[in-house]
Chain A
């Protein structure tokens, strides 16, 4: 049984990856969205000029970009399923519902991480040149990005499954998703700040925020996992 679940998981994930490799739709739209967000940041920060240390606001700015980017991706990933009738076929096939949840979440997580990894260097290139470097090890940044993205794609997958069946779709996803994500985002910004700014005690602060993120991930993913069967069956 475990073996067949694993095969089903891989099959659904492969389907999403193949579709993305053929159309490049998700990565292109999310990536462009990230770059557009940075253009808007430039407008927002322009009057503050050199007086503002961009590093202080950078953790917030990148998570704003990531959260809205993920909204775009989550919504896309289910609009396809619905428009092309794929979700009905998935439900008809003898696949365990939790497998669908984990496979869709894994796909969304993968796309989100790829775009995050691509857009961070662009952000650094556009805003951080000539500024002080990052003092803490850079992999800390990777840890918080991965952990927070797990929560975003897990809960997001559940919510997008619901909102794709509503009249509001993407708008509604934002309305239900952003406030639910607040605790995670707050901790992610705190951890990112500690990782980027450094200073004495920053590594401890980083791990303190990370326990919040880990706790959120565990609790929310368990609940989302438990609720998914009901939501997708409705």
Chain B
């Protein structure tokens, strides 16, 4: 089985797992209760928001990793991989932002709050966007690849900062999986979350592989065009 077939399989599995997690969220995972005893429906977004956010950090790591690999080898395939990893990051980052903003409106009463996690994540969003702005304004192909790799490596530094900031600084953003006495989830909640997380990572991998496949096909097509035309 080649990579593309595996990617398609992973895509279907990831879709099934995230859908299953979505259903489990409403029909199986323990509801979280408000102080007056009503069910807190806004908490349900946790099973989507957190997996997609964690996936965004992880995929962004590959931007930096392939950036380093490109600089060491000057192999253009790594540049393409870094670019596609950043595309997937952008997609996940925007989803994280959208779901986060919905939740903060319900839980905190405002759409946006300049608190450490939100601020550093917003900065990460800007960095991911800046990565593409930078790419688009360099005409020379080699320069574009080198600059994008260098910027990707620098930009990634914000990801661990954003991830750990809720542990370092005073933040009102919830930290559910921090360990310690008051954190943690009951078993059905945890299982639902893990399924959602695995599904999301599978989707991330599948998006990445399929985009890569698409780009490789495009390149082959271009090469064929040159061959036939020339």
Contact A172 B153 (CB under 8 A): no
**B 69-106 to A, binary, CB cutoff 8 A, 1 in contact else 0:** 00100000000000000000000000000000000000
- Chain B residue with the shortest CB-CB distance to A227: B150
Contact A162 B150 (CB under 8 A): yes
Bound CA–CA A162/B88 (angstroms): 24
B137 interfacial contact with A, CB 8 Å: yes
- Interface stretch among A15-23, A112-120, A177-185? A177-185
A166 and B146 contact, Cβ closer than 8 Å, known pairs A179-B127, A180-B154, A182-B123: no
- Chain B residue with the shortest CB-CB distance to A174: B130
Contact B150 A175 (CB under 8 A): no
- Interface stretch among B155-163, B174-182, B184-192, B203-211? B155-163
- Chain B residue with the shortest CB-CB distance to A186: B119
Contacts of B119 in A (CB 8 A): 182
Contact A231 B150 (CB under 8 A): yes
Bound CA–CA A82/B126 (angstroms): 28
- Chain B residue with the shortest CB-CB distance to A212: B168
**B 127-165 to A, binary, CB cutoff 8 A, 1 in contact else 0:** 100100110011110110011011101110110010000
The residue that B71 contacts in the complex, of A165, A166, A180, A227, with Cβ under 8 A, is A227
The residue that B137 contacts in the complex, of A155, A167, A224, A231, with Cβ under 8 A, is A167
Bound CA–CA A158/B123 (angstroms): 20
Bound CA–CA A183/B168 (angstroms): 13
- Chain B residue with the shortest CB-CB distance to A177: B130
Bound CA–CA A163/B133 (angstroms): 11
**A 146-174 to B, binary, CB cutoff 8 A, 1 in contact else 0:** 00000000010011001101111000100
A180 and B147 contact, Cβ closer than 8 Å, known pairs A166-B138, A167-B139, A227-B71: no
A230 and B138 contact, Cβ closer than 8 Å, known pairs A155-B154, A182-B123: no
Contacts of B154 in A (CB 8 A): 155, 158, 180, 220, 223-224, 227
Contact B138 A158 (CB under 8 A): no
A89 interfacial contact with B, CB 8 Å: no
Contact A219 B157 (CB under 8 A): yes
B128 CB → nearest A CB, Å = 10
Contact B147 A231 (CB under 8 A): yes
Bound CA–CA A172/B120 (angstroms): 21
B93 CB → nearest A CB, Å = 13
Contacts of B126 in A (CB 8 A): 179
A234 interfacial contact with B, CB 8 Å: yes
B77 CB → nearest A CB, Å = 17
Contacts of B161 in A (CB 8 A): 183
Bound CA–CA A167/B144 (angstroms): 12
A56 interfacial contact with B, CB 8 Å: no
A227 and B153 contact, Cβ closer than 8 Å, known pairs A162-B147, A182-B158: yes
Bound CA–CA A119/B121 (angstroms): 33
Contact B146 A230 (CB under 8 A): yes
Bound CA–CA A136/B71 (angstroms): 47
- Extra contacts, 6 of them, besides A165-B138, A176-B134, A230-B150 (Cβ < 8 A), are A163-B134, A166-B134, A172-B134, A180-B158, A182-B123, A223-B153
- Can you list 22 residue pairs at the A/B interface with Cβ under 8 Å? A159-B151, A165-B138, A165-B143, A166-B137, A167-B138, A167-B139, A172-B133, A175-B133, A179-B127, A180-B158, A182-B119, A182-B120, A182-B123, A182-B158, A220-B157, A223-B157, A224-B154, A227-B71, A227-B150, A227-B154, A230-B146, A234-B142
4 smallest beta-carbon distances between A and B, as pairs: A234-B146, A166-B137, A179-B126, A168-B137
- A residues lining the B interface (CB < 8 Å): 155, 158-159, 162-163, 165-168, 172, 175-176, 179-180, 182-183, 219-220, 223-224, 227, 230-231, 233-234
